[in-house]
Every structure is written in C-alpha cells, then in structure tokens.
Structure 1
Amino acid sequence: MPSKPPYKDPNESTRVRTVDLLERMTRREKVGQLVGMHVGSFTDTRKRATETTAITDVEVAIRDYYIGSVSPFGTGISKYNQVSVAGRIANRLQRVAMNETRLGIPLLVAVDAIHGHANIERSTVFPQNLGMAATWNPDIVKRAARVTAAEMSATGANQNYSPTADIARDPRWGRTYETYGESTTLVEEFVSAEIRGLQGDDLDDPTAVAATVKHYPASSGPTRGEDTAPIDVSPETLWRVYLPPFERAVSEGVAGVMPAYNAIGNQPAHSSKYYLDEVLRKQLKFGGVVCSDWLGIRMLADRHQVAASLRDAVDLATDASLDIASVGGPEHAQLLYDLVEKGTVSEERLDESTYRVLELKFELGLFDDPYVPPKLASETVGSSEHRAVARDAASESVTLLQNRNDVLPLNGEDDVFVTGPNADSIDNLLGGWTVYGVDDSQGQTIYGGLVSASGPEMTVDYETGIVSDVTLQPDEIAERAAAADTAIVVLGEPWYLHEFGPKSITDSSSGFPTRNQLKLPDVQKELLETVCETGTPVVLLVITGRPLVLTDVVDQVSGLLVGFFPGIEGGGAIADILLGRTNPSGRLPISFPRTIGDLPVRHDWLPHPSPIGSQEHLPSYNPLFEFGYGLSYTEFTYKSLEVSDRRVLADDGLSVEVTVTNTGNRSGTETVQLFGQHLQSSVVTPVRELLAFTKIDIAPGETETALFELDSEDLAVVRPDGSRVVESVPFELYVNELSREITIR
C-alpha cells in the first residue's frame, strides 16, 4: 500500500505539508486557490431576483478552475441562509473539492459574521459593534466572538470577514455602527478581544475560525462621510489614529486582512504596493492572507479608473501583494492564469500567495476534516447558552444619557404608554448585516419585552404611532399618552447597510436615514411632540446605528436612553433597564454632536492657534454628549488619582491608582477612563487621548480602586513616519475631574 504524500500526513509540520503540496500543484491549480466565488445576487438582498450565481455554478468552478474559497451562505445575498441548510451546502461543496479534484484541496468558506453569525436565520445576534463598544468591556466581546465562531463552524464556515478595525471619525458615514467607536485605544482593545475570541487558542480547534481584520488601512473617514469615498489623511494621522488597531491585530496573529474599497489619497488600497506590501508586509510584519473586499479589484477599473480593464486590475492587485479575489470567480481565475502564462505575473509571486492560502488551510485543520456533522448546526446556532451571552452584551451596551426627576427606573405600578416605529420591530433592533425579516418568534421587541417583564400591577399600552412616514391618529395617541403615568417613545433608525441601503428595504418618503441628515425625521419629531404636549413624563429611547443630532428634542423629554442596534436580546435587556432590574452601565464610545455643522466632533482634537483671540472661535469640542459619557441609577464620586512616580524615565512604566466611591443607594458598575495629554511635544498632539479603561462593580457606600499600568508606548509621540518616540516633556493624566502632572525624563 503506497504511503501518504507528506501533505496528507497530519503528523507532519504545517510547513512541510504546505511545501510538499505547493510543489505538486499545476499553475492552474495554484491560480484557483487565489480565487473565491459567491452564491446569490448582488442586487437583491431580499432574494427575489433570479440568482446570478447558483450552487451548481460554484461546483463547476471548483472542478474546472480549482476555486479555493466560497461564500455560499452567511452573506445576506444568498437563499441558503437557513440553519438547516447551510451545513449541508458547506459539506456538499467540500466534497466536490476533496473528491472531484486531483489533489483534494479543501475550501475556505467565508461569511460576514459582523455581530454574530447574523446572516444565518435563528442565529445569536449581538449588538452591533458600536453597541459592543458602549459596554467598554472587551471580555464580553471575546465571549461574543467565541459564540460567533462556534455557530459559524457548526454551519461549515471557517473564515469570518471580521473584526472591523476602522475608527469612527464621521457619523455621516453609513457604516459607523460597524466600528468600535472614535478612540484608537478603545478600538484596539475590542479588535484584539474579537480576534482572540474568533481564533481561540489555536486555529485547529474545531470551533475556531480565521479572523479577517478590515478595512485596511482606513475607510471610516471618507470625504463627505460618503461610503468608499477617498480618505484624505495626513501620514501622522494615519499612523496615530487609523493604523494602530491593525498593528494590534497583526500582533494577535490575525489570519487575514481585507483592504478598504477607498483610495488613501490617490492610492486605492486594493492596488497600493505601499500600503499592502511596504507597510503591511514589511513594516507591520504581516505574513497572513490578504483577501479583497468583494468587488474591490473590479472597482479599480470600474470606479477608481486606475486600470484600463479588469485584466489590468487583476495585475495591479496581484503585484501589490493581494492574495485572494474573494468573489472573482472563473473570470478572475482565467485572467490571472493568462497573466502568469505571459510572464506579467511571475511564478514566484504566484507561489507566494498560494503558499499563504494553503498554510492557512492547514492551520485550520481543513485537510484532515473539512466537514461538519449534519445536526451540529441545529444544536448549536441560537442555543440558550449563546443567547445568554447576547443578553449580557445588550444589557451592558444600553446607555442612559438623561434622567431628570429620576423618571427611571419605572415604578412597578405605573401605567405605561409605548409608541414609535422602533418599539415593536425586531429588525430595527438588529440593524444591517443580519437576515432581514426576522420572525417575531426569534426574540422580543422593546414593547414585547416590557410586557413580558412587567408585573400584574403595571399596564403597558401600545400604539405604533407611525406607518409609512405618516403619524397615525395623533389625537388618539395624545389621549392614550395623557392617561399614562409614563410614556416611552422609541424612535431612531431602521435596518440598513453601507450608504443607508438597499432602497428596496430602507426607502421612505422622509429620505431618512441618509448621510446628510442626522436629526430625527419630522414625522418622528411630530410623534414625540404629540406625546410630550400631554404633560406625561416622557422617556425617549433612541435605537440607532450612529450618533444623531438630538439637540432639538432632548429638552422635551425627562429620560433619554440610546441603544446602538442592541441585537436579538435587546428588547428584554432594555425592559430590564426600564424597570430597574438592571442598572445601566453603558458609556458612549463616540461623541454626539449638537449640529451637523459642528462635524467633525472628536474628543481627541488637535489644538490650534486663535489669531484674533479664542473668544472669536466656537468651541473646538462641545458635543451634546461627550465621548465616554453615561449615567447610572446610582452616583459615583472620584476620590483620588495617584501615580507611582511624578518623574518617569522614558523606558520605565507607570502605575496609576484611582479610587471611586458609590455614594448612591444601588449597586452599580462604573467605567473608569484614564486620559492623557502631552503638555509639550515636538509635534502637535491631541488635547487628550484615552490611555486605558476598566470597569469596576461597587456596592452602595463602598470604595474601590482601579489600577492602571502604563508603559512607554502609552506616553509616546507618533511622528509622520509612524515612529513612536518618548520625549522628555511634561505630561498630564486625567480621570473624571482629577488630574496629575508628571515629567517624562
């Protein structure tokens, strides 16, 4: 009996197996490993159109072109997003790759699992990333990522196009909710936690998946706030603000990187040798797989116009060090093959990318067993244990911004009136990158959650209030609101993707949401005014994917809560907060502007001259609600801020202790946020930057201490070339109203 070739021997090292397989492959087989293929139609998220790419098309491409990566489900455009179907589809395609090709190379099965495996029906859907960031708790993100990985792997998926490492710099951008907020430090910590959760302790763990960090090197500060528009950014800001989360991802061993659709300056990320090769490969030392955003290569010709044809676009992207064309299909495969045949793309360059893809597949254990047990998905996806993690995340994410006259928590004997377009919608609790049209049996809406959680002494009355951008029966709404002890008005944004689409789902006569409008639409404000004019105390609950301008409504209401698309358990979690069963602990990961004209509004703004006096300038940072803000049902008092040494050597670390007392009558969780500022430096630095944070639980009347350990990196100045230098300058630390100046020597 002939012995196994080394690449099929699980006892051999990954390197030995990868080299052996690469040497056996033909040029056509190598090219195939660098090409992916989707199932479904790009034009219809509701799946009503004839599918442009069918499962049988993918099977043919695997046999004929050796396609190495597929996205047959879990993307929002496939008709195979049912939990009972996905695993069978994955196994079916893996069998073609393993049994009907010469070398039997398994497939990467990639999905968009941005906030849970949410493009699969009945999955556990977590708050959107902006909501997860509002928890200020990286551990809950790691737990959520572990759940996501388990549900993905149970359906046969092994690569996730996540985490998102973008820094939210402009709330007009329609993908703000996909980010972990406006602070580089906050984003770094959450990206790190998500990668560790997705990839587990080792990629060959059956429940581990390959994380793919995106959108490198920057996509979240586009011109005009328009999705995929160019990023016009200085080198210093790129290195100080945008790149650190990607550096952190690489240090955590992230498996993949996805470039942005955008051009950085005049260089499209998908074809930039500087960003993909010089910075990512050489400076950041990334040795993993670079996967295109779905249409990123084609857009080099169609939209950026830096390539004369798709053939030229394939050449540019390959030369820049991109590995996988995520949905290139047979057309891309043939073009790349021809480029290698003609010597335009070298065999060496082809081998580099093929090696990286094969290496990842070996690390994932796919060559040894790429299949999933048929019943595993139904047993795993949306399990009660997983939903409990989503409930914890939603509970920690909801943020209390106003509580006049202690309108919250509600009295258990109150008569409550609930209204608003987001009060009884599960889809609008979930937001985009989720199967649309979620069955009501899968979760509770805010209204449903309040009814379920209320006791026999509380009555909960409900009226939709708005249908098709029209206020329904305002006189009846006013009458029912006037009869209540408290009114809960649930407004905000609906489900959307990218540039607030697709229109087949989001189209409305109000034109909301859109990037040129951050105020609530008139019809929502009219509903709120109708309720407020009754004199009944009103709690405004805003469900949204980004900061909205609430300046014109905040004074009308007694209470204000914000949930950034809080997920499948959001209804029940919000009900518990309204009733006081959960003490809110969310804190804003992003600033809320007073007007759209104030943008950009960022806590880490750069100081600047005032030639005719500062009194002639409007404040540089004067948000309605500032970064890090959030209230509790109890009160916290900061007692002291102590440092281990007021004079710090450049190479030494620094210990910081902060004492906090709960001066209220409820147990609560406080987020202690440590900021810093260079009082002098060789380059202009922000007026304050978040250095570190931690959450502490404090019982009534008790005092707890938060300890921070800073190293030289935390005190460094970032120069335009990306270098970090610790300078001998005065430096100030801030926590709440406390501050301490230190000297770096």
Structure 2
Amino acid sequence: MKNAILLLFVFSICSTTWSQANKKTEIDTKVSELLSKMTLEEKVGQMTQITVTFFEDPKKPGHFDPSKLKQGIQDYHIGSILNVPNPGAPTIQRWQETLTAISNQANKTRLKIPVLYGIDAIHGASYTAGATLFPQQIGLAATFNTDLVKRGAEISAYETRASSIPWVFSPDLDFPRNPAWSRMWESFGEDTYLSSKMAVALVEGFEGNNVGSKYNVASCMKHYIGYGSTTTGKDRTPSIIPERVLRQYDLTIYQAAIKAGAKSVMVSSGEINGTPVHASKHLITDILKTELGFTGVVVTDWKDIIYLHTRHKVAETKRDAVRIAVMAGIDMSMVPEEFSFYTDLIDLVQKGEVPMSRIDDAVTRILRMKFELNLFQNSFANLKDYPKFGSAEHIQEAYKTAAESITLLKNNNAVLPLNKNEKILITGATANSMKYLNGGWSYTWQGENSDTYAADKYTILEAFQNKIGKENVLYTPGADLENENDAEIQKAVDLAKDASKIILCLGEKNYTETPGDIRNLFMSSSQIKLALALAKLNKPIILVLNEGRPRLISDFEGKMNTVIQCYLPGNEGARALIDIIYGDVNPSGRLPYNYPRYPNSLEKYNRKYTESIAEEEQNNDAKYEKSYSPQFEFGTGLSYTTFKYSNLKIDKNEINTTDEINVSVDVTNSGKRAGKESVLLYLSDNFASITPEFKALKRFEKISLEPNETKTVKFILNQKDLQFVNEDLKWISEKGTFTIRVSDLNKDFSLK
C-alpha cells in the first residue's frame, strides 16, 4: 500500500511538471507566432505604459474621454495602463466598467492584443472600495509567519482580480539601510533572510500554481535594486553600495522571489555609485536577466527614463535617455503621461541605434506574461465569481495578521493587559483616524482619504469605546502631529487626572515616497511635549506607536510603562490592538529592524564587531565609548506568557564542505497563558577574511504553545548558510568555527 501511495505521489509530481512544461511550450509558440505578425509600431506600443488619468475626461474625473482612449490604444498601440486613482477608489462594478472599456478598444485593434493593467495594490486591493486591507509590509515581516502572509496575498490576489486587475506592483523587496527613508514601511525590514522568506510568501500567494487563474495576479518585485540605501535617507537620492555588499544582501532577496516565480520587476528610481539603475546594463541585463536567468518583464518606475535626462543628467535628450534605458534592458516604460517614449524608440530602431533583437526580446517578455495571465481569453472579471470579496472570512484573516504583527516592546510591572472596568484616557495625534492605521497607498497615493473609504472601520478611539463603553473612555487629541498647542496639552493633563491609565497614541502622518521625506528622525516635538507633560502625573502610560519607520522616542521612553509598536496595521488594526491591550489576544509580533536610540547611532542587529564595542576605552585619561545600544533590538517582542528554551542540540561538531547540520531546541511555555513564539536561529562566523557579522538570522519558525507545553523545533542549516561574498564577488565559506544561537543558548561547530 505504501509503495502504491508513493508511486501515485511521484506520478502526480511528474504529471504536474509535464503539464507546466507543456503549457510553457504552448505559450512560447503563441508568442512567437504573434510576434511575427507585429509591425515595429505595434511592438513599441507594447513596451509603452501610460497612466489611466491621461485618458480621462477633464470634466468628469474617473471617466474616460473615448477619443483619448482610442488614440492611445488604436493609434499608439499601448500595451499597458498604470493606475493612478482619480478621484479615489472605485467599486468592483466601476472597475469592471473601466476594464471593459479598455478591453473593447483593444478588441478593435488589428491583432486584438489585450492591454495589461497594473496597480499598486500593496496591502490588499487597496484601490477598490470595500476591499480587505491588511497590514503594510513592515507589519507582515513582524508576524514572522509566512503561512499567514501567503494567505493574505491569496486574498489580496482574489480581491484584485475581482476588480478586473491582473497585475500588482508588489512585493517591495527594498533593503533599507537608513530608517529615515520614507518607504521603509513598504519593505520587510533590515534582515535579508526574513525579507527573502516573506518575498517568497507574497509571490506564491499572489501567483499560486497558475497565475492565469481568475483568482491570481502577476507580482512585480520592486525596486530593483539598492533603492532603500540612500546616503541622505531621502527618497530618490543616490546610494553608494559596493557590489560585494549588493550581492550578499540586496540581490539575495530578488533571487528568492525570482525562484518563486515572480513575473515582473520594477527598476529603482535611484542611482548606485553614480550610475542610475535605469541606465545600468550591468545590473539589468548582465546580472538580472543573464546571471539570475530572469525571463519576466522589466518595467520602469514613474517617468524614470525621462528622469535620466531631466534629473540624473546622464542623457542629453529624452531620446538619448530612451536609447540608454532600452539598451540597458528595460522592457516597458512607465512613461507615463505622453507618447515620447513611443515616438523616440521607433526613430531609434529605424535609424539602427537600437537593434530589433532588443525590441523583440522586450515584447516577447510582455506577450508571454499576457498569455500566462490568460488575458487573451479573460480580460475582466465576472463578479459572480467573487462572492468572498470583502467578506467576513477575509476580514478575519486581516485581523489575525494585524494581531500577530503588533509588537509589545515593553511592559514594566505587567501593566498590560488592562482591566475592562478601568476608566482610561485616550490621547495623542494618531488616536482617531484611519489614515494613520493604513498609511500610504490606501485608496489614494498618500492615503489621505482613508477616513472616508474606511468609515465603517474602527479608529483606535472607536475600538476602545466599542470594547469597554464610551462611559469608560475619556478622549482629547492632546497634540497634533506637528504644531504645539499648550492649551490642548493641558486639557489632556486635566482629563488624565480622572483616569487610572493613559493610552498615548503617537506616530506619523500618512505618506509615501518624497512627500514622506524628513529631516529629523525624532518623534515630532509637539508629541514629545505631550508625552513629557503626561509623564509628570506618575500614572501608568501605555505608549502606542503608529508609524511607518522608527521615530526616536529616547527623550521620553524611560517614562513610559508600556510600549506597543503597531506599525501600519490596516483596517483591522485597531480591533487587534485593543484585543491585545485587554488580553483577549496574546501579542506575538517581533521587531523586523533595530529601533534606534540616537540619530547618529543606526547600527543594524547584524552589525560588525567594531560597531559593538560596549566597554569604555582608556586613552591618555580620556574615555571613548563605542556602544551598540538600540532602543529595542531586532527580534524584540514580548508576550503575556513566558517561554523557556532548553536542550539546544546539533548532530555534528565538525562538518566538511558538503554536510548539512541538523539543529533542534526545546521550547516550553512556562507561563499560565497560551501563546505564540517565533523561534529565531542566528549564526555567527567567528573569523573570516571579510569582517564577519556579529550574528545573522538563518532560520525562524512560529509555534503555538499551551501552558506547560513543550515543542521540539528542528532546523537544517546548509552550506549556503555558512557563505559570504568575497572581494572577487564569489560566494564562499572558509574553514573555522561557527556559533549557533537560539535565545540565550549557543553551540559551536567547525568547518574543516
């Protein structure tokens, strides 16, 4: 019987592999046949992406001017439209009308090639009214739960396809090195391994086993590459990254997503070492396409070919910028508000400055993705196929994800969980708006209309009132995000005298990209002033942080009894937060980055040893302190129960260059409540020819434990885990000792 089951399993795997290979061959044949029929103009049109607002009637925002749409699709043969919502988030019915109008125009063209519609649906179908909105990516990382993240991506794909849209500009694989960067919250944080695992979860959730299914969408990795590492910490400013570092950290994340099957990639708006990425044949063609074998579509970011001329100044004309970018390996240009790319590229090909082979390669990639998405047969949704859109089932998944992301960083004297009978004061700038729970890319670009589109959801204040009754909740804003108001602060202080506990909600405005640039990483002075005034009352304060990046709180954190990091938890975030505060949910999130204490001390958890000299050094009677002292370290996350680690074991003390190592550790819930624990395994290469990291995350697993329950968690480390990129840009491992660390336990082994 066992043999029969095994044979059936093998047959199933072989059958699936054969089916996928056969389908690929079939699609390649269709692409080749279609390409052979296309004119130069039709090919270049496929490479052209225009924003949807370009085709709108200026007197009727959100509605097409038929003559403009006809011009774009029939005269310029455009292959893709980019979503920029105006005036806001349409219903699924309105989306169907929009995509039907586009499809009808495409069907009037000679070859009837469907138009590919792309959208920044990055935490759910976030540009569709009534959709389920999940935590932003930084919150997903904090769950340390890839199964939960994959399920969320499946729901997001379902609801995006219900909106008749087949292509999402997600996941964000940026590797931020400066916490001030305005898109840090769109990333998975500061660790390559965590980012890679989360990237795979999102890609697999979006695309499934069949990206052409009516419930799946094509993913788009962004922003290739080095975008999150600006030297200034501001958006779209230069980066300086040695290629060795780029390969060891940034590129590793993209490799994982490519292996998972990501269909497209968006190129970084920035520059690395003086070369704009959109102009880099080395990065796009030599590494991405050739070395990594990426066969999908390479699309620009907003206007970035034009910016080679107007911003980066590496092209003397817009025409020259088109030549540089296309020859670097760009397949599709997000132009996005004119047809200059189309006219310039046709001229470049006709004059022999861009070979037809480069055009054919780009168009092949675009057509292949359209066939894979099944757009030639089904370009918009039948709404009857999506009964779960915005359903209670989907909302519950968003709630669960928010609950596992919210991170308890401090809980002195076990102030939490609170008693539901206590009278509390809710105050702070972020306490009563959905904008601060959702952040940017929510209904609109900057997310400024979340209070309108998510009016049926709870703000933090409303969630408290719903939980314990309005009679037990006092409220005043206390401060706004920027402007100091002594009278409002005094009002909060006066109200606090009638409360047993203070819930202080601080954070940031909603933002993304350049509008989110800051000069000062500290929490705004108006909010710091409120925190310090309340602290003088000597009443327990629960600090709730609602922010996309770690704004510094060292001026007042020591006066707070409890600190909770919510990140940007989405529409269900307030419900999850309140359930954690009152103990109905046991917190289990962990920080996916170091929370810095000082603006000039931004070391990452996997720092080098020279960044972590904690002792004071004596030098001619002068003291010099090089201290590694973040406010909270990567991986920090408390629970209402306690976990004990024991019996860390490895199956080998010495290995050769082909061995794997089996690691096991026992984890016991030694407290009185059921809880979830993320078990993190770190590895240290104790000596290496390239200065080694203090430690690096190599494995993690999230487990659930009842009181007094013990589970044995097992990990397997392979040779790649021991390697680093050397000066010759090769992945190598070197003989010597390594240390495995799990919680407060460690084991050494040697590579011989």
Regarding TM over 0.5, the answer is yes
In the TM superposition, 1:616-695 aligns within 5 A as: 617-619=624-626, 621-695=628-702
**Alignment partners' CA distance in 1, 2:59 and 2:710:** 59
**Alignment partners' CA distance in 1, 2:64 and 2:104:** 19
Structure 1 position 515, deviation (Å) = 2.6
**Alignment partners' CA distance in 2, 1:342 and 1:327:** 22
Q: Tell me the equivalent position of 1:193.
A: 201
Give the 3 Å change call, closer, same or farther, for CA 688–614 of structure 1 in structure 2. Answer: farther
Q: Tell me the equivalent position of 1:437.
A: 449
Q: Tell me the equivalent position of 1:331.
A: 340
Q: Tell me the equivalent position of 2:4.
A: none
Q: Which secondary structure does the structure 2 equivalent of 1:487 belong to?
A: strand
Q: Which secondary structure does the structure 1 equivalent of 2:339 belong to?
A: helix
Q: Which secondary structure does the structure 2 equivalent of 1:659 belong to?
A: strand
AA of the residue aligned to 2:483: D
- Contact 2:478–2:491 at 8 Å: present in 1 too? no
**Alignment partners' CA distance in 1, 2:60 and 2:500:** 49
**Alignment partners' CA distance in 1, 2:404 and 2:115:** 37
- Contact 1:174–1:499 at 8 Å: present in 2 too? yes
Give the 3 Å change call, closer, same or farther, for CA 620–40 of structure 1 in structure 2. Answer: farther
- Contact 1:602–1:621 at 8 Å: present in 2 too? no
Structure 1 position 648, deviation (Å) = 1.5
Q: Tell me the equivalent position of 1:497.
A: 512
Q: Which secondary structure does the structure 1 equivalent of 2:570 belong to?
A: coil
**Alignment partners' CA distance in 1, 2:349 and 2:403:** 54
CA deviation vs aligned residue, 1:164-189 (integer Å, no higher than 9, x gap): 11112111111100000100001000
Q: Tell me the equivalent position of 1:96.
A: 105
Q: Tell me the equivalent position of 2:467.
A: 453
Q: Which secondary structure does the structure 1 equivalent of 2:499 belong to?
A: coil
Structure 1 position 54, deviation (Å) = 5.8
**Alignment partners' CA distance in 1, 2:551 and 2:493:** 25
Give the 3 Å change call, closer, same or farther, for CA 78–293 of structure 1 in structure 2. Answer: farther
- Contact 2:162–2:389 at 8 Å: present in 1 too? yes
Q: Tell me the equivalent position of 1:508.
A: none
Q: Tell me the equivalent position of 2:18.
A: none
Q: Tell me the equivalent position of 1:411.
A: 419
- Contact 1:412–1:455 at 8 Å: present in 2 too? no
1:524 aligned onto 2:527? yes
AA of the residue aligned to 1:69: S
**Alignment partners' CA distance in 2, 1:649 and 1:257:** 38
**Alignment partners' CA distance in 2, 1:357 and 1:683:** 41
**Alignment partners' CA distance in 2, 1:668 and 1:337:** 61
Q: Tell me the equivalent position of 2:296.
A: 288
CA deviation vs aligned residue, 1:401-455 (integer Å, no higher than 9, x gap): 1111111000121111111111111111000111231225331111111221226
CA deviation vs aligned residue, 1:52-104 (integer Å, no higher than 9, x gap): 99675233210101100012x4x44555644431221011101111x210000
Q: How many residues align structurally?
A: 714
Structure 1 position 613, deviation (Å) = 8.4
Among 483, 496, 502, the alignment partner of 1:469 is 483
Among 41, 45, 53, the alignment partner of 1:40 is 53
Q: Tell me the equivalent position of 1:605.
A: 607
Structure 1 position 723, deviation (Å) = 2.1
CA deviation vs aligned residue, 1:220-271 (integer Å, no higher than 9, x gap): 1101111111110112211111110011111111100111011111111111
**Alignment partners' CA distance in 2, 1:157 and 1:538:** 45
Q: Which secondary structure does the structure 2 equivalent of 1:242 belong to?
A: helix
Among 363, 366, 370, the alignment partner of 2:379 is 370
1:543 aligned onto 2:546? yes
AA of the residue aligned to 1:451: Q
**Alignment partners' CA distance in 2, 1:106 and 1:743:** 57
Structure 1 position 679, deviation (Å) = 1.0
Cα root mean square deviation, aligned: 2.4
Q: Which secondary structure does the structure 2 equivalent of 1:132 belong to?
A: helix
Q: Tell me the equivalent position of 1:582.
A: 585
Give the 3 Å change call, closer, same or farther, for CA 48–397 of structure 1 in structure 2. Answer: farther
Among 349, 362, 367, the alignment partner of 1:358 is 367
- Contact 1:38–1:53 at 8 Å: present in 2 too? no
Q: Which secondary structure does the structure 1 equivalent of 2:335 belong to?
A: coil
**Alignment partners' CA distance in 1, 2:715 and 2:403:** 26
In the TM superposition, 1:48-447 aligns within 5 A as: 56-71=67-82, 73=83, 75-76=84-85, 79=88, 81-97=90-106, 99-328=107-336, 329-374=338-383, 379-435=387-443, 436-438=448-450, 439=452, 440-447=454-461
Q: Tell me the equivalent position of 1:713.
A: 720
Structure 1 position 140, deviation (Å) = 1.4
Structure 1 position 531, deviation (Å) = 2.5
Q: Which secondary structure does the structure 2 equivalent of 1:206 belong to?
A: coil
Q: Which runs of 5+ in 1 are unaligned?
A: 1-9, 502-513
CA deviation vs aligned residue, 1:319-348 (integer Å, no higher than 9, x gap): 011100023442211111111111111111
Among 10, 21, 25, the alignment partner of 2:34 is 21
AA of the residue aligned to 2:181: W
**Alignment partners' CA distance in 1, 2:391 and 2:383:** 16
**Alignment partners' CA distance in 2, 1:400 and 1:500:** 29
Report the TM-score, using the length of structure 1 for normalisation. 0.92
- Contact 1:594–1:623 at 8 Å: present in 2 too? yes
**Alignment partners' CA distance in 1, 2:384 and 2:102:** 17
Structure 1 position 620, deviation (Å) = 5.2
CA deviation vs aligned residue, 1:294-340 (integer Å, no higher than 9, x gap): 21111111111000111111111110111000234422111111111
Give the 3 Å change call, closer, same or farther, for CA 41–131 of structure 1 in structure 2. Answer: farther
Q: Which secondary structure does the structure 2 equivalent of 1:290 belong to?
A: strand
Q: Which secondary structure does the structure 1 equivalent of 2:304 belong to?
A: coil
Structure 1 position 375, deviation (Å) = 5.9
Q: Tell me the equivalent position of 1:5.
A: none
**Alignment partners' CA distance in 2, 1:275 and 1:728:** 31
AA of the residue aligned to 1:224: T
CA deviation vs aligned residue, 1:583-640 (integer Å, no higher than 9, x gap): 00010000011110112x2011123499x98566533532010010011111112223
Structure 1 position 490, deviation (Å) = 0.6
- Contact 1:158–1:210 at 8 Å: present in 2 too? yes
Identity %, equivalent residues: 33
- Contact 1:603–1:621 at 8 Å: present in 2 too? no
Q: Which secondary structure does the structure 2 equivalent of 1:297 belong to?
A: helix
1:727 aligned onto 2:740? no
Q: Which secondary structure does the structure 1 equivalent of 2:369 belong to?
A: helix
Structure 1 position 676, deviation (Å) = 0.7
AA of the residue aligned to 1:157: I
**Alignment partners' CA distance in 1, 2:416 and 2:70:** 57
**Alignment partners' CA distance in 2, 1:730 and 1:113:** 45
Give the 3 Å change call, closer, same or farther, for CA 443–56 of structure 1 in structure 2. Answer: farther
- Contact 2:96–2:381 at 8 Å: present in 1 too? yes
CA deviation vs aligned residue, 1:547-571 (integer Å, no higher than 9, x gap): 1211111111111111111100001
- Contact 1:217–1:260 at 8 Å: present in 2 too? yes
- Contact 1:235–1:721 at 8 Å: present in 2 too? no
Give the 3 Å change call, closer, same or farther, for CA 297–617 of structure 1 in structure 2. Answer: farther
Q: Which runs of 5+ in 2 are unaligned?
A: 1-22
- Contact 1:122–1:442 at 8 Å: present in 2 too? no
Give the 3 Å change call, closer, same or farther, for CA 380–331 of structure 1 in structure 2. Answer: farther
Give the 3 Å change call, closer, same or farther, for CA 355–627 of structure 1 in structure 2. Answer: same
**Alignment partners' CA distance in 2, 1:120 and 1:50:** 16
**Alignment partners' CA distance in 1, 2:138 and 2:267:** 21
